[in-house]
Chains A and B, each alone.
Chain A
Amino acid sequence: MLRYILTRIGLVVPTFIGMTLLAFFLIRLVPGDPIETMAGERGIDAARHAALLKEYGLDRPVLVQYGIYIGRVLHGDLGKSMITQEPVLREFAALFPATIELALCAIVFALVLGIPAGIIAAVRRNSIFDHGVMGVSLTGYSMPIFWWGLLLILLFSVQLGWTPVSGRISVKYFIEPVTGFLTVDALLSGEKGAFRSAVSHLILPTIVLGTQPLAIIARMTRSAMLEVLGEDYIRTARAKGLSKFRVVALHALRNALIPVITVIGLQVGVLFTGAILTETIFSWPGVGKWLIEAINRRDYPVLQGGVLLLGLVVMTVNLLVDVTYGIINPRIRRAS
């Protein structure tokens, strides 16, 4: 087991180095001199330019620069935002809980609807329900979620007035951040109506971000279930006279869930991609919106650090999924 885990970690190292290279060269590939890029349209005089080049170590050979950069990254120093002068890592840490809260809600939404829908579709294969689930999930999979968000705002916020258009909570509440999850913090604060407000702000972004994972999970559950339901041991269980519910819920589901769990792990990347768009539409103050703003303001250190941190998160989750999978399924462990 330990050997399996170490191999997996070993495989991650080159990926990590590759990502640091990408982040490192990001700022150097931008056309023009990085100092001039940082100075922006105001321009900069020659003496100050030379001093800044020295200060940032940009006058040294590229390999040395990369060495210095890696050293800093490993010490948790990802530079400072050019706009706010705050350390990138601190800004990321402050905004990341908002993204996690949204992503968790979205994946729970996708699981709670997607797994039962997939199971029922498989059990009633070729029924109207099955065709409906497959049709809806293909539509969800093809959905431009930035448009989907606008449509939901049109319907639920503009026409019906049920949900707020943007933000995480109504401006009249000030909640002290404890966990960073606003729904939890609102409950802890004990302020009347704060929790309700936080939840109502979460509903539309959750649906928007959860749509693609929902489509993928429903499809995957259905096909995994269909495969398992064709196995001999299921026929045996039926022949023994077990109820259909028991066969499906206890015997089939357990094995069908193994591929589904892998797919859930792979949704992390999909969720972050979606979070960038969802947060932009709903002005959700998370890391996705932060990165888009960084691009528009040409705040390269934020972009550089943010990309590296998000890449690290995805990498770590993928590693955890791999390891968990090895624990659940000994065949995988032995194969590698």
Chain B
Amino acid sequence: MTPDATTAPPATAPAPRGPLREFWGYFSANHGAVAGLVFVVAILLTAAFANVLAPYPPDLTNSAVFLKPPAWQAGGSWAYPLGTDAIGRDILSRLIHGARLSLLIGIAVVALAIVVGIALGLVAGFARGVVEIAIMRLMDIILTLPSLLLAIVIVAILGPGLMNAMLAVVVVVLPHYVRITRAAVITETSKDYVTAARASGATQLRLMFSEVLPNCAAPLIVQASLGVSTAILDAAALGFLGLGAQPPASEWGTMLADAREFVLRAWWVVTFPGLMILLTVLAFNLLGDGLRDAFDPKLKR
């Protein structure tokens, strides 16, 4: 609050809210987005305290309890609330530890895609000409191929594994970040404040990073939140196809791949990992939608 505002006579209209307060006002009005945020925070905490929360280590096998059903079903026990898998590992513990892997995948992929995407987008937006055409054509090619197919090809080249699967997903999602950054840069560079900065002798790098980039943040934050869900989903699909995280990793997609052959006799080994993927992806999508509407309230109306 500025001094003028407090010394001003009591206004008939309420005092203008700060940008953060206003943002939160729009965001919290969207119940879905708040629910998404709550779930995302819960999953983050689960991942952070996985060692404390999980009743067993994720890889601990117990040969006495193969394919034990969940506690509420006949034959289940509260020692293994969500049952055990085919080699007697506690499913709940594996899901809790899996949250770590999935969040790591989602966040690492998006972080890398944002860094590379911003760099390429800034270069394309500022350089124009041949460089721009080369970058954008390359992004078009990536967008033309079905995303999972391209990811599969990259994994086939690099070899299966969590790291390579993550790199493959980065390449697949990269074009979105490059396009958003470039579009934002082109809009922003035509504005007066950039001309003013340029006239006062700001270097190209300063223009890029201190002037233009902060003003492109909103669409990038929205894309990042939606991007985490895409990354988790794609990495899980690769894990399911046997091309992502390798067993015995407790990645949710890999757990599903292991569970596939037991679909006919043990519903719980198939149901819970997929449910976790669905809920986590849904939460990030709700959060992303909420952020987009809150950043751009005009769009919503």
Interface residues of A (CB under 8 A from B): 14-15, 18-19, 22, 26, 29-31, 138-139, 141-144, 146-148, 150-151, 153-154, 158, 269-270, 272-273, 276-277, 280, 291-292, 295-296, 303, 307, 310-311, 314-315, 318
Q: Considering the complex, which residues of chain B in the window 244-278 have a beta carbon less than 8 Å from any beta carbon of chain A?
A: 253, 256, 260, 263-264, 267, 270-271, 273-275, 277-278
Question: Does B148 interact with chain A (Cβ within 8 Å)?
Answer: yes
Contact assessment for A139 and B282 in the assembled complex, using a CB-CB cutoff below 8 Å: yes
* B291 → A minimal CB distance (Å): 15
B152 in contact with A291 (CB, 8 Å): yes
- Are B146 and A296 interface neighbours, CB within 8 A? no
In whole angstroms, how far apart are the Cα atoms of A277 and B147 in the complex? 12
Q: List the B side residues contacting A310 at CB < 8 Å.
A: 145-146, 149
Could you list 7 further interchain pairs (A-B, Cβ under 8 angstroms) beyond the known A144-B277, A150-B274, A315-B144? A142-B281, A142-B285, A154-B271, A291-B149, A291-B152, A292-B241, A310-B145
Expressed in whole angstroms, the Cα–Cα distance for A23 and B270 within the complex equals 35
- Whether B156 sits at the interface, judged by CB under 8 Å, is yes
Question: Does B138 belong to the interface (CB within 8 Å)?
Answer: yes
- Give the chain A neighbours of B144 by CB distance below 8 A: 15, 19, 269, 311, 314-315, 318
Interface class of chain B by DSSP: helix
- A-B residue pairs, 9 tightest by C-beta: A147-B274, A18-B141, A273-B148, A272-B146, A142-B282, A142-B281, A273-B146, A144-B277, A269-B146
User: Which of A139, A153, A276, A315 has a CB less than 8 Å from the CB of B278?
Assistant: A139
Contact call B243/A295, Cβ cutoff below 8 A? yes
Q: A276-B149, A277-B148, A291-B152 are in contact. Are A150 and B270 (CB under 8 A)?
A: yes
Interchain CA distance A91-B253 in the complex, whole Å: 30
Once the chains bind, are A146 and B286 in contact (CB under 8 Å)? no
Distance in angstroms between the alpha carbons of A272 and B157 in the assembled complex: 20
Closest beta carbon of chain A to B139's beta carbon, Å:
10
Q: Quick check: is B57 within 8 A (CB to CB) of the other chain?
A: no
Q: Contacts A26-B157, A147-B274, A295-B156 hold; do A138 and B237 have CB atoms under 8 A apart?
A: no
CB distance from B243 to the nearest CB of A (A): 7
Which residues of B have CB within 8 Å of A158? Answer: 263-264, 267
Q: Are B282 and A144 in contact (CB under 8 A)?
A: no
Which of A154, A280, A307 is B153 in contact with, Cβ under 8 Å? A307
- The complex places the Cα of A148 from the Cα of B233 at a distance, in Å, of 13
Interface centre among A14, A141, A147, A153 (most CB of B within 10 A): A147
Are B137 and A18 in contact, CB atoms less than 8 angstroms apart? Answer: yes
Which residue of the partner chain B has the closest CB to A135?
B32
| Residues of A contacting B146 in the complex (Cβ-Cβ under 8 angstroms) | 269-270, 272-273, 276, 310, 314
Main secondary structure on A side of the interface with B: helix
Which residues of B approach A to under 8 Å, CB–CB? 32, 137-138, 140-141, 144-149, 152-153, 155-157, 159, 229, 233, 236-237, 240-243, 253, 256, 260, 263-264, 267, 270-271, 273-275, 277-278, 281-282, 285-286, 289
Q: With A30-B157, A272-B149, A291-B149 given, is the CB distance from A144 to B141 under 8 Å? A: no
CB distance from A4 to the nearest CB of B (A): 19
Query: Is there contact, CB below 8 Å, between B278 and A147?
Result: yes
A318 neighbours in B (Cβ, 8 Å): 144
Query: Given contacts A22-B153, A277-B240, A295-B156, is CB(A138)–CB(B286) below 8 Å?
Result: yes
CA of A280 to CA of B237 in the docked complex: distance in angstroms?
11
Q: Are A151 and B270 in contact (CB under 8 A)?
A: yes
* CB nearest neighbor in A for B274: A147
A18 touching B285 in the complex, CB below 8 Å, given contacts A150-B270, A158-B264, A272-B146: no
A30's closest neighbor in chain B, by CB? B157
List chain A residues, Cβ under 8 A from B274: 144, 146-148, 150-151
Q: In angstroms, how far is the closest chain A Cβ from the Cβ of B11?
A: 33
Question: B241 touching A280 by the CB < 8 A rule?
Answer: yes
B240–A19 CB distance below 8 A = no
- Could you show 22 A-B contacts with beta carbons less than 8 Å apart? A14-B137, A19-B144, A29-B157, A138-B289, A139-B278, A142-B233, A144-B253, A144-B256, A144-B274, A146-B237, A146-B240, A146-B274, A147-B275, A269-B145, A270-B146, A277-B148, A277-B237, A291-B149, A295-B156, A295-B243, A307-B145, A314-B144
Q: Which residues does chain A contribute within 8 Å of B236, judged by CB atoms?
A: 144, 146
Distance between Cα atoms of A153 and B265 in the complex (Å):
12
Please give me the residue from chain B that is nearest to A143 by CB atom: B278
Q: In the complex the two chains form, what is the Cα distance from A15 to B139 in whole Å?
A: 10
A146 surroundings in chain B (CB, below 8 A):
236-237, 240, 253, 256, 274
CB of B41, distance to nearest CB on chain A (Å): 18
Q: Give chain B residues whose Cβ lies under 8 Å from the Cβ of A269.
A: 144-147
Of all chain A residues, which has the CB nearest B281? Answer: A142
Contact A303 B156 (CB under 8 A): yes
Query: Chain A nearest CB: distance from B3 CB in Å?
Result: 43
Q: In the complex, A154 Cα to B152 Cα: how many Å?
A: 27
Q: Verify B278–A144 contact, CB threshold 8 A.
A: yes
CB distance from A92 to the nearest CB of B (A): 14
Q: Which residue of B lies closest to A318 (CB)?
A: B144
Whether the Cβ atoms of B260 and A273 lie closer than 8 Å is no
Chain B residues closer than 8 Å to A147, beta-carbon distance: 256, 270, 273-275, 277-278
Is the CB–CB distance between B140 and A15 below 8 Å?
yes
A161 to chain B, nearest CB (A): 12
Residues of B within 8 A of A303 (CB): 153, 156
Shortest distance between the CB of B174 and any CB in chain A (Å): 14
Residue of B nearest to A275 (CB): B146
Shortest beta-carbon distance from A53 to chain B in Å: 20
Note all chain B residues with C-beta closer than 8 A to A29.
Answer: 157
Question: In the assembled complex, which residues on chain B have CB atoms less than 8 Å from the CB atom of A151?
Answer: 270-271, 274
